[in-house]
Structure 1
């Protein structure tokens, strides 16, 4: 069952700003970055690598969550240069038990705290916009870097259904992240 807010407050992504980042509605030109990610070995944790056609269907369906569900992916840009750095957002394709907090960054943005900073901003926005008290990550057990990031963000591993029966589920208490802050 898809969790849909009572009323859609955002048919398109709002623009959020953190200390270093601007989170915005994805644009067509962002797909080239997503396609490169999905064609790489890094996509193994997402079920890939994928062909360009498969990557397009995933990208387009995730972006379409905005008008259909009021949430979805944010493209992440460097605030000072405008350079595209990746994506952070809330995803809930058919089969996901709840909305999921997810991320990816381009190769050169890895290890710089971009996904963490963007994820904090999205968590604050989700709590303020929808009143949600938690968001989960559904992470393949082999994806040690994403598991570590989920835990570093203050999440705790819980026994709950994920997108796949083997997923590590990390739950984030949005009421505590709001106290820490995340938006500029």
Structure 2
């Protein structure tokens, strides 16, 4: 499957592009990625990014690149992740530093949730968050999610936020 294009008031959500990797590599090479599988060297980062991109043809979902609709600037990615070892599809996000604090992740995540609800009819999504990542936990809760200690994470101590979708899974 090729990723669809979604629009919000301020963002275009579109399939990944090779040029996105440069932003991804910079993020994942920095200490800012410590809650998100990082930091990663460039080669390892490319393999991880490429595996995430491959979710689109393999599973029919994946991460959307986010572009500011006014400037065209890349601001990050939001989407559905499920690398090997994840217990179920995960709603996740990251933004480039200059895009943080503007509500882009929440805006894009709401669009992705709506797309998932319409496309797959799942009962839920989860966000699996490092317990020290207070900003991502807050975002998951702001999106209407609830912390569910009965659901498995990936690493011991993960905070798992359940996003109820009201579908059929």
TM-score range, shorter-chain basis?
A: over 0.9
Structure 1 unmatched runs, 5+: 1-10, 177-184
Which of residues 21, 32, 51 in structure 1 aligns to 2:41? 51
Aligned match of 1:164: 155
Q: Which runs of 4+ in 1 moved over 2 A?
A: none
Does 2:62 align with 1:72?
yes
Distance 1:125 1:47 in 2: 26
Shift of 1:47: 3.1
Shift of 1:165: 2.5
Distance 1:79 1:47 in 2: 29
Deviations 1:43-101 (A, max 9, x none): 11023211000110111000000000000010000112111000000000111111000
3-state SS of paired residue (2:27):
helix
Aligned residue pairs, count: 166
3-state SS of paired residue (1:42):
helix
Which of residues 16, 29, 33 in structure 1 aligns to 2:23? 33
Deviations 1:12-68 (A, max 9, x none): 110000111100001000000000000111111023211000110111000000000
Shift of 1:104: 0.2
TM-score, normalised to structure 1, is 0.88
| CA RMSD, Structure 1 to Structure 2 (Å) | 1.1
TM-score, normalised to structure 2, is 0.96
Distance 1:93 1:166 in 2: 19
Where does 1:11-160 land on structure 2 (aligned, <5 Å)?
11-159=1-149, 160=151
